[in-house]
A and B are shown apart, each in its own frame.
Chain A
Amino acid sequence: MQRITIDPLTRLEGHGKIEIFLDDAGDVANAYLQVPELRGFERFCVGRPVEEMPVLTNRICGVCPEAHHMAAAKAADAVYGVTPPPAAKKLRELLYSAFFFADHTTHFFILGGPDFIMGPDTPVAERNILGVIRKVGLEIGGKVIQARKYGHTTVEIIGGRKVHPCTAVPGGMTKAISEDERKEIEKMGRWAVEFGQFALQVFHDMVLGNPEYLALILGDAYTHKTYYMGLVDANNKVNFYDGKVRIVGPDGTLHGMYAPNDYTDWIAERVEPWSYLKFPYLKKVGWKGFADGAESGVYMATPLSRLNVSDGMATRWPRPNMRSSSPPWASRPIAAWPSTGRA
Chain B
Amino acid sequence: MSKPKFAMYWASACGGCEIAVLNIDEKILDLDANFEVAFWPAAMDVKYKEVEAMDDESILVTLFNGSIRTDENEHMAHLLRRKSKLLVAFGSCANEGCIPGLANLSPREGIFECAYTSPSTENPDHLRPRSAWQAPEGTLTLTPLQSVVRTLDQVVEVDYHVPGCPPESHQIAAVLDVLIAVVKGEAELPPKGAVLGAGDSTVCDECTRKRDIKRISKLSRIQELPMLNTEDCLLEQGLMCSGPATRSGCNSRCPNVGAPCIGCYGAAPGVLDQGARLMTAIASVVDEKEPAAIDKVLDGLPDPAGTFYRFSLAHSLLRANRAALAEKP
Size of the chain B interface, CB-CB below 8 angstroms: 86
Q: Which of A30, A44, A138, A263 contacts B103 (CB 8 A)?
A: A44
A29 within 8 A of B: yes
Chain A contacts of B256 at CB under 8 A? 160
* Inter-chain contact B140/A34, CB cutoff 8 Å: yes
Shortest Cβ distance from B288 into chain A, in angstroms? 22
* Inter-chain contact B12/A37, CB cutoff 8 Å: yes
* Inter-chain contact A62/B17, CB cutoff 8 Å: yes
* Inter-chain contact B121/A271, CB cutoff 8 Å: yes
* Inter-chain contact A174/B46, CB cutoff 8 Å: no
* Inter-chain contact A128/B123, CB cutoff 8 Å: no
B79 within 8 A of A: no
Q: Provide a sorted-by-A list of 25 A–B residue pairs whose CB atoms are within 8 angstroms.
A: A10-B43, A11-B41, A21-B138, A40-B108, A40-B115, A42-B118, A48-B303, A49-B302, A49-B306, A52-B306, A76-B223, A110-B22, A110-B43, A125-B37, A128-B37, A128-B44, A134-B32, A148-B22, A166-B257, A167-B257, A175-B258, A264-B119, A264-B120, A274-B129, A274-B130
* Inter-chain contact A170/B223, CB cutoff 8 Å: yes
* Inter-chain contact A36/B143, CB cutoff 8 Å: yes
Chain A contacts of B140 at CB under 8 A? 19, 32, 34, 274
* Inter-chain contact A106/B26, CB cutoff 8 Å: no
* Inter-chain contact B28/A145, CB cutoff 8 Å: yes
Given known pairs A36-B143, A59-B99, A273-B127, the reply for A128 and B45 (CB within 8 Å) is yes
B165 within 8 A of A: yes
Chain B contacts of A30 at CB under 8 A? 135-137
Shortest Cβ distance from B175 into chain A, in angstroms? 16
Chain A contacts of B115 at CB under 8 A? 38, 40, 42-43, 276, 278
CA distance A59 to B28 in the complex (A): 24
B243 within 8 A of A: no
Q: Which of B120, B130, B310 contacts A273 (CB 8 A)?
A: B130
Q: Could you mark each residue 279-322 of chain B with 1 if its beta carbon is under 8 Å from any beta carbon of chain A, else 0?
A: 00000000000000000000000110010001000000000000
A124 within 8 A of B: yes
A250 within 8 A of B: no
Closest to A122 in B: B45
* Inter-chain contact A269/B122, CB cutoff 8 Å: yes
A13 within 8 A of B: yes
Chain A contacts of B223 at CB under 8 A? 51, 76, 80, 169-171
- Taking CB atoms and an 8 Å cut-off, the chain B residues in 124-170 that contact chain A are 127-130, 133, 135-138, 140, 142-143, 145, 165-166, 169
Other A-B pairs beyond A268-B120, A270-B121, 11, CB < 8 Å: A8-B47, A59-B14, A110-B22, A124-B44, A125-B44, A128-B37, A149-B23, A164-B264, A166-B253, A166-B259, A174-B222
Chain B contacts of A273 at CB under 8 A? 127-130, 133
Chain A contacts of B12 at CB under 8 A? 37, 39
The 8 closest A-B pairs by CB, nearest first: A62-B16, A174-B258, A160-B257, A40-B111, A13-B15, A21-B137, A128-B44, A62-B14
Shortest Cβ distance from B267 into chain A, in angstroms? 19
B325 within 8 A of A: no
Q: Could you mark each residue 13-36 of chain B with 1 if its beta carbon is under 8 Å from any beta carbon of chain A, else 0?
A: 111111110110110110110001
Binding site for B on A (CB under 8 A): 1, 3, 6-15, 19, 21, 29-30, 32, 34, 36-44, 46-49, 51-52, 55-56, 59-63, 65, 76, 80, 106, 110-111, 124-125, 127-130, 133-134, 138, 141-142, 145-146, 148-149, 152, 159-164, 166-167, 169-171, 174-175, 263-264, 267-276, 278, 283, 287
* Inter-chain contact B23/A166, CB cutoff 8 Å: no
CA distance A308 to B257 in the complex (A): 38
Shortest Cβ distance from B269 into chain A, in angstroms? 22
Shortest Cβ distance from B52 into chain A, in angstroms? 11
Shortest Cβ distance from A36 into chain B, in angstroms? 5
CA distance A140 to B254 in the complex (A): 34
- Taking CB atoms and an 8 Å cut-off, the chain B residues in 41-82 that contact chain A are 41-49, 69-70, 72
Chain A contacts of B31 at CB under 8 A? 130
Shortest Cβ distance from B17 into chain A, in angstroms? 7
* Inter-chain contact A124/B45, CB cutoff 8 Å: yes
Given known pairs A30-B137, A51-B222, A169-B222, the reply for A42 and B306 (CB within 8 Å) is no
Shortest Cβ distance from A339 into chain B, in angstroms? 15
CA distance A55 to B32 in the complex (A): 33
* Inter-chain contact A44/B43, CB cutoff 8 Å: no
Chain A contacts of B22 at CB under 8 A? 106, 110, 129, 148
Chain B contacts of A59 at CB under 8 A? 14, 16, 98-100, 165
Shortest Cβ distance from B246 into chain A, in angstroms? 14
Chain B contacts of A164 at CB under 8 A? 16, 165-166, 264
Q: Which of B18, B36, B49, B262 contacts A62 (CB 8 A)?
A: B18
Shortest Cβ distance from A215 into chain B, in angstroms? 23
* Inter-chain contact A133/B32, CB cutoff 8 Å: yes
